[in-house]
Amino acid sequence: MATPADPGAEFSALARSRRSVRAFRPDPVPRAMVEALLETARTAPSGANLQPGRFIALAGAPLAALVAELETALDAGRPPVAEYAWFPDPMPATLKARQRAAGYALYTALGIDRRDLARRRAQFRRNFRFFDAPVGIVVTLERSMGPGAFLDLGMAMQTLHLAATAAGLASCGIGALAQHADVVQQSLSLPPQEMVICGLALGYEDPAAPANATRTNRADLADYAELRGFER
């Protein structure tokens, strides 16, 4: 039983076990399981219960078709789009250090030298293959929604990630997909009022893949939180 000093121990263990997986087994994920995960994701908090955003889950031929169009665009040197800003510009030194540490951890696990730009680009390009996961999810948001809708959508996505972990699946968010939102928009025949926010890879982890040996650190509590008025 959880104690006051250790609330929600089981959930805490689940949340701490979740991580971004970048190599998957080819085993298909049953449609019923994907539907259940998406229904769980929608239980996340939502301001005024607006429940903004959509999740377009792709598998099989539809996923392969989207990946093929993205790779054609990359081969053609199609310039990226930027419908919204993900990183601050300029990037503060503290955040840049975290970004570099995450990249270093991944490339070290893959045995890619920091000067090997070709292999680094090839690894980054795997984002647009959804890391060969059997399920690729495209996440969209109505353009008319206010900035607060990003909060609701983010909570729904985190709920989806955690639900996947609880179900024995692995996942990885793919922010890079928004760099070619125009290709995704056209490929999926999305209405113009839908903005492509990101992608999400979903499937069963390949534990033997070097990419999945990567671990990233989280900031210390004192770096991002204050607790006032509490008794020790």
Q: What CATH number corresponds to the domain at position 140?
A: 3.40.109.10
| Residue 188 placed within a domain | yes
Q: How far apart are CA 137 and CA 200, in angstroms?
A: 5
pTM attached to this predicted model: 0.93
Angle between helices 148-166 and 31-41 (to 10 degrees): 140
Q: By C-alpha distance, which of 105, 83, 138, 97 is closest to 22?
A: 105
| Residue 222 placed within a domain | no
Q: Largest alpha-carbon pair distance within the chain?
A: 61
Residue 21 has what pLDDT?
Answer: 96
Residue 232 has what pLDDT?
Answer: 80
Burial class (CB in 10 A: 0-12, 13-18, 19+), 142: middle
Kindly tell me if the per-residue pLDDT of 7 is higher than 90: no
| Residue 115 placed within a domain | no
| Residue 73 placed within a domain | yes
Number of domain units in the chain: 1
| Residue 224 placed within a domain | no
Quote the mean pLDDT of the chain. 94
Spell out a b/e string for 27-36, using b for 16 or more CB atoms within 10 Å of the CB, else e.
Answer: eebeeebbee
More confident residue, 8 or 37: 37
| Domain encompassing residue 133 | 21-85+127-210
| Residue 203 placed within a domain | yes
Q: How far apart are CA 151 and CA 109, in angstroms?
A: 32
- Taking a C-beta distance cutoff of 8 angstroms, is the pair 106, 123 a contact? yes
* Percent helix, percent strand, percent coil in the chain, to nearest 5: 50, 15, 35
| Residue 54 placed within a domain | yes
Kindly tell me if the per-residue pLDDT of 112 is higher than 70: yes
pLDDT band at 3 (very low <50, low <70, confident <90, very high): low
Kindly tell me if the per-residue pLDDT of 123 is higher than 80: yes
| Residue 105 placed within a domain | no
